[in-house]
Chains A and B, each alone.
Chain A
């Protein structure tokens, strides 16, 4: 297995490929991911995403990639009953997350009053014929909770035409294609959200996606209040869930990433029921004590010999 690694989207991208075309596959994936970063970032006024946000209330002719991400985001907003909803752009700004994370000051200005109106992508209009998108007036979206999973899947699909098996890891959101030469399955470590780099367990996965949502990464201070990037669309505020992280395994990258977040927000009372709305979804939870939890089906993805208590 050959590997390639580079920074993009304010995170680390890891590519893995097996086969004689690995170098070409890496170049293809690098180019595609670079294009996506420029297209989907909310930190550049010239990105296609920000052009769409400025057009809210009117029809916008989108590229095929942006249209597909927004269409999938809309369907996931509906499926998760709004626990995932990318219409949180203005909430992010109100929380002080108004620039690329490495550029955020250690301590931002004072917290702002809670918002009075909830915005949602559910009110978007989509036209598949023209790839038209009409955001509701006043709604601006942040694709940070869905785009990396989507990009990982699309990049992996491009690579697979050149190699026998490949994986794309976009900062913890992965898509796996084909089977490694040893017959597989793919082995993916699940990092301990309480520390730097330690593994809690190892997942054994076939083709598909895995993504993790955590509230222990990307934290900052707004005045004296600690903030994190897992924003609850219902309140516009960082979630107050008991869990430290949720890892979701699904057939598609966008679904894995969106459901990881939605399950996190659903919490101990609602996660199992929510998971039933996505066929084939399996998830694992890490609570504040570092304990792993999962539905019985999670046995299928945890490496043998350490599956259950």
Chain B
């Protein structure tokens, strides 16, 4: 075996170990999934973002100055 081929094999072995360790470090420190952040609608107060409840999406409220006839039937907590 020549000195040159021994050196190449040594470099390849070092590279494999380094690559494995590098991959492990990257995986271990990969960013965790975070709850979906939703930009609030324009008519909502000052909070910058909301964390969406699972499977739900934001709906806008009635705009200020809502004009068409208010319904006489209403639902509320009883």
Contacts and interface: CB of A to CB of B under 8 A. Distances in A.
Contacts, number: 148
Interface residues of A, number: 59
Contacts of B78: 11, 148, 170-173, 211-212, 214, 217
B32 to A, nearest CB: 17
A125 interface: no
Interface string A104-145: 000000000000000000000000000000000000000000
A202 B73 CA distance: 10
Contacts of A270: 54
Interface in A242-289: 245, 247, 267-273, 284-285, 287, 289
Interface residues of B, number: 30
Contact of A14 (B54, B56, B63, B72): B72
A298 interface: yes
A47 B23 CA distance: 72
A120 to B, nearest CB: 23
A195 B5 CA distance: 82
Given A172-B78, A201-B60, A306-B61, 19 more contacts: A14-B73, A148-B78, A173-B78, A187-B71, A189-B73, A190-B74, A193-B76, A193-B77, A201-B59, A201-B62, A218-B77, A268-B53, A271-B55, A287-B53, A290-B61, A291-B40, A302-B59, A306-B59, A306-B60
